[in-house]
């Protein structure tokens, strides 16, 4: 009977795990497309996987397509590409499978494996209830769903998988205390480092684990004895403590030595480079909304984090877990070493997420295990209680798990919107079929990966950060500043002069490049491009704030009155306000933020008529309003009932028309020398301040290059304008 009971329980657990795996894959499969990779960044990994496959499995040393000229050195963290290649070879044993199909299903396979690893780790920390909860919270958390949909072949899914597997390998080595398990832990952690440079965070956690364990045991003893007198021998008389130190030290030392030898770095260098990233010392980081500080104890901060990791597991981690720990300490219930690591893990990743929701993926791993640990312990506490209480609590746990699964299914609908839309695909096809293979494509840095991956052409910049160590002579920051200047300037010749330096390196620069990187630099890195193309797209309307900021422009806002009379300014959330300017944005009281110029997009809110029967179209942008008065066959824009805006462009019967109101006088109103661009449907309008109304971006996107001599429009659709740059 006992054997049959165990077998039945095992079958039930296997069935539950199979169901979790099925749900995890099912909700992600809706973005499957055998001809396309999802979003932008995954194209980088797909392109590198293809390069390795076509190079007889040898890793590339130089990437000539990215950050041209002259391209960039290839980082050694290519483990994910090789994992996808292994999947490719296995799949082709059974049927003819393209690499792009592997790019679609690879994240799904990793998520399925993560369910198993999360269950094993959760069971190590608590029990089967905690393990099942961990598996659900881990794989169905919103932040992981958003970066592991079918076709999203970035490293995010592997980060979660390896995080659980690496931590479990440490625990297994400490538990078994045998050399093969120590070697296994080293190999698993090395595989993680080979896959993702941030994998050193696991080593840092275990480096802090031993002192944290000592400190916690002291606190535990003080509370239990109600005395500050510490008995060291009593705390650490168990033999496993010394063995823990020895095993962890061996794994960390060997792992770091191998990491240095193979060029993967080490945990110390990672710590200092990571600290610089968290503190936003790279200029691009100030433009990334996901890297802005969060007050998680505020309503907006809590909501922001909860939307990434799930409200239920977040509450269990931030509220119930501390209460459970306090309860265990005062009830003198021993807290295992693995549990102390869990607290450390949650605390460290909690610190990270306070510096931006970008780190929500790492936090979600700790939250999933913490929440599972809480549920597992609570189930243990009520196991010997009355049947009514026990049944009620089990029912409640099942209810919240079902609710979490339901929320995950709903969230996957939102995440499925990351597919590259048809306008971009059509433009990319034009480039692929018409541009010379030695062409360079320049635009704002976000879509660089997909342009290079889909068309095979070189790009001026892409979504990967590249410092002067890897990108010479124009690192990422330089290219962003240059492109910001190109987009923002009204001087076409200035824009062309900036573009010219990206046609080819000078002989001196080429020589310095070869001295810096040696024989890995290909000859084509110093050869000139044949053509240059420039993309002006609708998504840059919202990004213009940062283009203007990095381009070196500032709005002269010194006080609130300047702001009220200067429409068309936005706040760039800089670490601190620059001298002579007024702080702005949500961090204004902390002396942060600086105003720059940007388009203001107004939405139609109402249509009225004045006493003379003239139509008045009311448009709102936050607390600001523009009224368009249709009078005497003119469109007269009035800003906040105080200013007439001098220039209007609108579309009537498909024809573009312009109004110049410079000479139009209304005695009660002042003039603003700005520009209104009316959407043909009249549902929205955009206001451009005088400083940017003649900028390269405005002219190329809204006016098809009118008035420009060096930008030839070669392709357009409602979302994108593609130009060939003629020098």
pLDDT of 669: 80
Residue whose entry in the numeric block shows the structure tokens 């003198």 = 332
Residue 563: pLDDT above 60? yes
Q: CA 386, CA 390: separation in Å to the nearest integer?
A: 6
Sign of the dihedral defined by the CA atoms of residues 520, 83, 194, 78, in that order: positive
Q: Which residues pair with 1 in a beta bridge?
A: none
Find where tokens 């005695």 sit.
667
Of 157-166, 212-221, 302-311, 596-605, the one with minimum mean pLDDT is 212-221
pLDDT at 374: 92
Tell me the per-residue pLDDT of 372-425, one tens digit each, with 9 for 90 and over. Answer: 999 998 988 887 778 888 888 889 989 999 999 999 998 888 877 788 899 999
Does residue 99 surpass a pLDDT of 90?
A: yes
- The domain spans of the chain are 13-34+98-416, 422-543, 600-691
| This prediction's pTM | 0.90
Q: Which long-range contacts link 569-574 to residues 24+ away (Cβ below 8 Å)?
A: 569/595, 569/596, 569/597, 569/598, 569/689, 570/545, 570/595, 570/596, 570/597, 570/598, 571/545, 571/595, 572/286, 572/287, 572/545, 572/546, 572/548, 572/596, 573/286, 573/292, 574/286, 574/549
Terminal Cα distance for the chain, rounded: 85
Would you tell me how many other CB atoms lie within 10 Å of the CB of residue 589?
A: 7
- Band of the pLDDT at 260, cuts 50, 70, 90? very high
Residue 357 is classified by DSSP as G
Mean pLDDT of 145-159: 95
Residue with token string 């625990």: 171
CA–CA separation, 267 and 273 (whole Å): 10
Range 621-643 average pLDDT: 88
Which one is predicted more confidently, 478 or 228? 478
> Does 155 score more than 90 pLDDT?
yes
| Inter-residue long-range contacts of 291-296, CB under 8 Å, 24+ positions, other chains counted | 291/355, 291/356, 291/358, 292/356, 292/573, 293/354, 293/355, 293/356, 294/353, 294/354, 294/355, 294/356, 294/357, 296/350, 296/353, 296/354
Mean pLDDT of 479-487: 95
Residue 232 pLDDT grade (very low, low, confident, very high; cuts 50, 70, 90): low
Is residue 3 scored above 50 in pLDDT?
no
* Residue 43 pLDDT exceeds 80: yes
Reply yes or no on whether the pLDDT at 107 is more than 90.
yes
Residue 329 has pLDDT above 80, yes or no: no
Phi then psi for residue 98, to 5 deg, are -80, 160
For 576-620, write each residue's pLDDT tens digit. Answer: 888 888 999 877 888 888 999 999 999 999 999 888 888 899 999
User: Using one digit for the tens of pLDDT, what is the confidence trace for 661-693?
Assistant: 888 877 778 888 899 999 888 899 999 999 999
Token digits for 149? 């949909």
Instruction: Please report the pLDDT score of residue 148 as a whole number.
Output: 95
Q: Would you say the C-alpha torsion 578, 579, 584, 587 has a positive or negative sign?
A: positive
Taking residues 620-637, what's their average pLDDT? Answer: 88
Residue 417, pLDDT score? 74
Which residue in the block uniquely carries the two structure tokens 């909700």?
Answer: 27
Flag whether pLDDT at 147 surpasses 90: yes
CB 603 within 8 A of CB 619: yes
Is the pLDDT reported for residue 1 higher than 50?
no
Strand locations in 216-336 (E) = none
Name the percent of the chain lying above pLDDT 70: 94
pLDDT of residue 281: 53
Mean pLDDT of all residues in the chain?
A: 89
Mean pLDDT, residues 500-515 taken together: 95
Give pLDDT, residue 647: 92
Is residue 238 over pLDDT 70? no
pLDDT at 279 over 60: no
For position 655, what pLDDT does the model report?
81
Q: Greater confidence, 652 or 152?
A: 152
pLDDT at 240 over 70: no
pLDDT digits over 517-548, tens only? 999 999 999 999 999 999 999 999 999 999 99
Is pLDDT of 227 > 60?
no
Per-residue model confidence (pLDDT) at position 276: 55
Range from 278-292, 345-359, 417-431 carrying the lowest mean pLDDT = 278-292
């Amino acid at each position: 009977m006992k054997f049959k009971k165990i077998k039945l329980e095992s079958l039930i657990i296997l069935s539950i795990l199979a169901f979790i795996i099925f749900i995890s894959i099912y909700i992600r499969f809706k973005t499957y497309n055998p001809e396309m990779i999802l979003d932008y960044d995954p194209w980088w990994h797909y392109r590198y996987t293809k390069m390795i496959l076509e190079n007889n499995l040898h890793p590339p040393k130089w990437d000539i397509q990215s950050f041209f000229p002259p391209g960039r050195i290839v980082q050694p963290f290519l483990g994910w590409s090789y994992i996808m290649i292994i999947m490719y070879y296995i799949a082709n044993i059974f049927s003819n499978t393209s690499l792009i199909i592997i790019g679609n299903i690879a994240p799904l396979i990793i998520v399925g494996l993560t369910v198993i690893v999360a269950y094993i780790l959760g069971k190590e920390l608590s029990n089967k209830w905690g393990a099942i909860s961990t598996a659900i919270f881990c794989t169905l958390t919103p932040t992981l769903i958003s970066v592991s949909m079918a076709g999203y072949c970035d490293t995010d899914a592997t980060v979660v998988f390896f995080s659980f597997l690496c931590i479990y390998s440490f625990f297994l080595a400490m538990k078994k205390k045998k050399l093969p398990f120590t070697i296994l832990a080293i190999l698993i952690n090395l595989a993680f480092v080979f896959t993702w440079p941030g994998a050193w965070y696991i080593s840092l956690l275990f480096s802090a684990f031993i002192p944290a364990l000592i400190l916690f045991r002291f606190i535990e003893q003080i509370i239990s004895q109600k005395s500050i007198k510490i008995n060291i021998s009593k705390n650490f008389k168990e033999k496993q403590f010394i063995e823990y130190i020895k095993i962890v030290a061996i794994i960390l030392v060997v792992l770091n030595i191998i990491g240095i030898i193979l060029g993967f770095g080490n945990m110390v260098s990672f710590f200092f480079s990571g600290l610089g990233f968290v503190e936003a010392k790279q200029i691009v980081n100030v433009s990334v909304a996901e890297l802005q500080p969060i007050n998680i104890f505020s309503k907006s901060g809590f909501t922001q984090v909860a939307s990434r990791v799930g409200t239920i597991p977040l509450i269990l981690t931030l509220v119930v877990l501390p209460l459970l720990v306090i309860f265990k300490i005062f009830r003198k219930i021993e807290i295992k070493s693995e549990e102390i690591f869990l607290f450390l893990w949650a605390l460290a990743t909690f610190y990270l997420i306070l510096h931006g929701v970008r780190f929500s993926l790492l936090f979600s791993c700790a939250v999933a295990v913490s929440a599972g640990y809480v549920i597992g312990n609570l189930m243990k506490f009520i196991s010997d209680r009355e049947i009514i209480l026990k049944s009620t609590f089990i029912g409640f746990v099942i209810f919240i798990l079902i609710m979490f699964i339901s929320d995950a299914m709903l969230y996957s609908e939102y995440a499925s919107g990351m597919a590259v839309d048809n306008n971009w695909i059509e433009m990319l096809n034009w480039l692929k079929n018409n541009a010379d293979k030695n062409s360079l494509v320049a635009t704002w840095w976000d879509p660089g990966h997909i342009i290079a991956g889909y068309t095979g052409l070189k790009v001026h910049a892409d979504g990967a950060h590249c410092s002067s160590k890897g990108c010479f002579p124009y690192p990422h920051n330089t290219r962003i500043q240059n492109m910001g200047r190109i987009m923002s300037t009204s001087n076409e010749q200035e824009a062309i002069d900036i573009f010219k330096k990206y046609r080819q390196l000078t002989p001196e620069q080429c020589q310095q490049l070869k001295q810096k990187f040696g024989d890995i630099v290909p000859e084509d890195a110093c050869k000139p491009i044949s053509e240059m193309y420039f993309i002006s797209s609708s998504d840059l309307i919202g990004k213009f704030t940062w283009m203007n900021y990095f381009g070196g422009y500032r709005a002269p806002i010194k006080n609130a009155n300047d702001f009220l009379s200067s429409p068309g300014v936005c706040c760039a959330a800089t670490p601190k306000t620059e001298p002579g300017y007024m702080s702005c944005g949500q961090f204004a009281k902390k002396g942060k933020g600086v105003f720059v110029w940007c388009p203001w997009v107004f939405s139609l809110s109402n249509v009225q008529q004045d006493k003379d029967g003239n139509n008045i179209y009311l448009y709102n942008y936050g607390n600001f309003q523009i009224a368009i008065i249709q009078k005497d066959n003119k469109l007269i824009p009035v800003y906040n009932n105080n200013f007439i805006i001098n220039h209007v462009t609108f579309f009537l019967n498909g024809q573009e028309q312009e109004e110049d109101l410079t000479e139009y006088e209304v005695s009660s109103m002042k003039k603003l020398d700005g520009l209104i661009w009316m959407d043909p449907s009249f549902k929205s309008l955009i206001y451009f301040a005088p400083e940017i109304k003649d900028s390269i971006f405005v002219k190329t996107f809204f006016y098809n290059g009118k008035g420009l001599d060096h930008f030839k429009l070669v392709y357009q659709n409602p979302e994108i304008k593609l130009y060939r740059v003629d020098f």
